[in-house]
Amino acid sequence: MKLVSAILAVLLGIALLILGSLGVQTFGTAGTLALESPTLESDADAYALVTDVVSVETGLPFSDALGDTTIGASSQNQKSLFIGLAATNQLDEYLLGVPYDVVRDNEGNWETLSVPGAEKPKDPTRQDIWIRRSTGTSPEMRFTPASRGATTFVVMNAAGDSGVTAQLAIGYKSDTVFPLSLAAIVLGVILIALGIWLALRRRQARRRDRPTTAAMPGSSPPPVPATTAASQPAESVPASDAAPPPNSEAAPDSKLESDAEPGAGPPLQGWYRDEDKA
């Protein structure tokens, strides 16, 4: 169980560490993100650049809950621009018969489709079709969840003349992305360290539970159970180490004693009887 917990802690810690690092790398310490298109230029007789909102949206999960998304454009010829968000059907009705260009982001490559026409549009600043709008050389507006009902974004010259040259921009600002990313990094490091600690504890516990097979120096061997000792055969002793048979060295003396007459004392060496002298 400790091993599973250690693995899960390490994996979760790595995931949080990667997520937090990506957050810091993408948004920085200020918690901002800016995405810009290349310079987009309409045909000389076109009056607007039109794009789908999805083409300029961040696509970040929980972006509305964590911060604010802005959408805008920057003039590339110093003309004042008009930007607006409107429902597709209402914008189509407004631009009916008016030449304009539809721009689309195709995986980083912006494509342009020209829609022909011969009419001049009405003053965009006087129309009531816009859910949100703004004017200026670098106008921008907040793109809220309510604005997503407007699926079309349009850029026009504020004066209503043709020939629009602009750079589309989308920005994101969050005061919570950096603290959350930093917290994810710290928590990830803690979980990785916790997983390593649990793995080491499990390893030490397994070492303690392992039986000891060799006696430690200076310690007496463990006692052998009586049943085990009785069942073991006796060790054979070499003949050279065997104890000598009893009275093996005294065997000659015992022979002399057996030859002596009963009741006689020990033989006298070096003494002779008088009969032998004669």
Closest of 61, 68, 64 to residue 32, by C-alpha? 68
pLDDT beyond 50 at 122: yes
Between CA 184 and CA 200 the distance in angstroms is 24
User: Among 56-65, 70-79, 192-201, which stretch is predicted with the lowest mean pLDDT?
Assistant: 56-65
The sign one gets for the Cα dihedral 14, 17, 20, 23 is negative
Backbone angle region of 42, left / alpha / beta, with phi > 0 → left and psi within -120 to 50 → alpha? beta
The tens digit of pLDDT for each residue in 137-157 reads 999 888 765 555 567 899 999
Q: How much is the pTM?
A: 0.59
In this prediction, residue 82 has a pLDDT band, given cuts at 50, 70 and 90, of very high
Place 120 in a pLDDT band, splitting at 50, 70 and 90: very high
Residue 114 backbone phi and psi in degrees, to 5:
-85, 130
Distant-in-sequence, close-in-space partners of 170: CB < 8 Å, separation ≥ 6: 34, 35, 36, 56, 57, 58, 69, 70, 71, 72, 143
**Tens-digit pLDDT profile for residues 5-55:** 888 989 999 999 999 898 888 888 888 888 888 889 889 999 999 998 765
